[in-house]
Homo-oligomer: A and B are copies of this chain.
Amino acid sequence: MYQSFVPTLRTLMGPGPSDVNPRILTAMARPTIGHLDPEFIRMMDEIKGMLQYAFQTKNELTLPVSAPGSAGMETCFVNLMEPGDKVIVCQNGVFGGRMSENVRRLGGEAVIVEQTWGRAIDPEQLEAALRQHPDAKIVAFVHAETSTGVQSDAQTLCALAKAHDCLSIVDCVTSLGGTEVALDAWGADAAYSGTQKCLSCAPGLSPISLSQRAVETIKSRKTPVSSWFLDLNLVMGYWGEGQTRSYHHTAPVNALYGLHEALVVLHEEGLASSWSRHARNHNALKAGLEAMGLTFVVPEAERLPQLNLVSVPEGVDEASVRKQLLQQYNLEIGAGLGSLAGRVWRIGLMGFASNPKNVLFCVNALEAVLSQYNAPIHRGVATGAVQAAYKA
């Protein structure tokens, strides 16, 4: 026999999903209404307005795709690309790799600007690639690499794309709400994000935003968009203006209640306050971990405050530590991916999870678990360091 599933209460400090604000959980449980109900249409308009605020854009085409971040990525590529197009993909982690995978599957040519995992994209390398490939149509890069905790300089990369007459596609999955995203100031043409990172919402939706230049590119396509579900020509009819929305697909009503509430929470706090809260908690976590003797992988200037890549000390079994944190403390932190697997932890401080309670809890739970190993860990000093960082 099957029984209702009641999950153990965890603290989510991995690469996402992160802790969901109870206000958002409650919102998702509100009674479902129809996806063509006038009340629902009004809520959609508010979501659009609040997403424009979060992305800092006036882009009309700003909406949540009804599927997780990977589908948001695919929405950008499948709409802006046509078979044969050349796309320059900056790749410094897993998600850049997924971008090139998208390009190839859609019949395009991916030119890779390769960067060491754990480092920001080098604008000079991008510029060299743009010079070498004057026929490139799109530049794609990840603003905040979830696999490494690195932030690249979106403003500079978007400007380079524009200077070489390319559209830009920017992955903002882990940055939106946590560090500054400013699509209009950057001149970005397409951006996508996820709900389960710094928006503190459950996973399942992917906010996207496309510039007028991107919309014109889509409208003047020579071939149809291969995906019916992700074709923005059709989705626009549902998320457009007025009460005469045409039915496209059945919107994930309750998930959208959650996103609406998450955006209300972000709007109440204010973008700048949210960014500085993320920075403050990151500094405290860093102080605690460094006092223990742990080290960060990413150079300080390129670090994401919401996702901390920490080296596993010699002699410590990486997976066993995560397992013990989960079993003994109900604390989830993330493993490394790809070439970093087994060598690093990824500690998230995203959205609602970015708070002093989580910082102190994580630092001390990690100290307790690491103390079993014969590793050079300084004990009993982390809490003081965290406290000092908050006072500074």
Contact = CB atoms under 8 A, between A and B. Distances in A.
A282 to B, nearest CB: 21
A16 B251 CA distance: 11
A260 interface: yes
A5 B69 CA distance: 24
A1 B71 CA distance: 30
A312 to B, nearest CB: 18
A34 interface: yes
A249 B204 contact: no
A372 interface: no
Interface stretch (A97-105, A135-143, A180-188, A360-368): A97-105
A50 B14 CA distance: 30
Given A249-B69, A326-B37, A2 B229 contact: no
Contact count band on A: 35 or more
Contacts of A389: none
Chain A binding surface, main DSSP class: loop
B250 A196 contact: yes
Interface string A2-20: 1111111110101011011
Contacts of A28: 28-29, 254
Contacts of A390: none
A53 to B, nearest CB: 9
A337 B246 CA distance: 11
Interface string A33-44: 111011110010
Interface string A221-233: 0001111110000
Interface stretch (A113-121, A149-157, A261-269, A295-303): A261-269
Contacts of A227: 74, 78, 105, 226-227
A242 to B, nearest CB: 16
Contact of A203 (B26, B31, B251): B251
A189 interface: no
A332 interface: yes
Given A2-B49, A33-B332, A66-B67, 12 more contacts: A4-B27, A5-B257, A12-B32, A17-B34, A68-B250, A68-B251, A70-B250, A78-B227, A196-B250, A203-B251, A203-B252, A204-B255
